[in-house]
Structure 1
């Protein structure tokens, strides 16, 4: 069931916002969104440190509140202890799916997102799962 559910979300998704996107190509917060960009997803990078610069053909914004369009998946590269500081923005954005990358957990945050009716994937790498579910791409 989980694989079917994940595959359906990834097939219908077009826009992925990346909270904590990074310019350093050696960091997962860069090479994971780059992989997704190369697979045809539109990547909206969110990181106040690089706001105004360009990543993956789009201008980096400083906050989720700066995004002006719907987001199918929010891919999160922030430490678990920092997640609650983003909760209000995430609930306002109402992405189709919140994805917490490998190693990222915060039970209180997870509960609040689920209570808001937003689907959630926790402690899994989006790139790894995409490669597994779509091996030919």
Structure 2
């Protein structure tokens, strides 16, 4: 059976229930897409947790950056991925280890292997969608509510 993303209504619920969003591949450079999207989500009230081994221990968007998902000392609702498709299966395995609820592969990123791993471990999967766009469409009144 071919993969299908959740419906807009399902995505709305996923985002309403989300608090902590681990952003894998979050750059510390403000001109990068990952930074701009994470900053926008943070401004909308979500807690962003940076994950980037090249910036581990630094602060990005005021939050401590971790080298891996396993190092995050608190629960993660959504693992938002800004990595090439070939790395996504490993990210999915690590997301399963930390019992994340959702694996979200950003616009342009598709990995059937990662989706299968995540689904086998009880996670919802969203691929090839921008979390910022989906949030803006499904959560128009969220700003300032967190």
- Normalising by the residue count of structure 2, what TM-score does the alignment of the two structures yield? 0.88
Runs of 4+ deviating beyond 4 Å: none
Aligned residue pair count: 137
The runs of 5 or more residues in structure 2 that have no matched partner are: 1-5
Aligned to 1:95, the other structure's residue is in SS state coil
RMSD, matched Cα: 1.3
**Match in the other structure for 1:130:** 135
Kindly indicate whether structure 1 or structure 2 has the higher relative contact order, using CA contacts under 8 Å at least 6 residues apart.
2
The yes-or-no answer on 1:4 pairing with 2:4 is no
Alpha-carbon separation, structure 1, partners of 2:76 and 2:90: 19
CA deviation after TM superposition for structure 1 residue 57, in Å: 2.0
Task: Report Cα offsets for 1:103-132 as digits up to 9, x if no partner.
Answer: 111112211211111100010000011111
- Normalising by the residue count of structure 1, what TM-score does the alignment of the two structures yield? 0.93
CA deviation after TM superposition for structure 1 residue 33, in Å: 0.6
Alpha-carbon separation, structure 2, partners of 1:120 and 1:55: 26
**Match in the other structure for 2:101:** 96
CA deviation after TM superposition for structure 1 residue 2, in Å: 1.1
Aligned to 1:71, the other structure's residue is in SS state coil
Aligned counterpart for 1:62 among listed residues 67, 82, 94: 67
Matches within 5 A, 1:40-119: 40-119=45-124
Alpha-carbon separation, structure 2, partners of 1:87 and 1:17: 12
The runs of 5 or more residues in structure 1 that have no matched partner are: none
2:101/2:122 contact within 8 Å kept: no
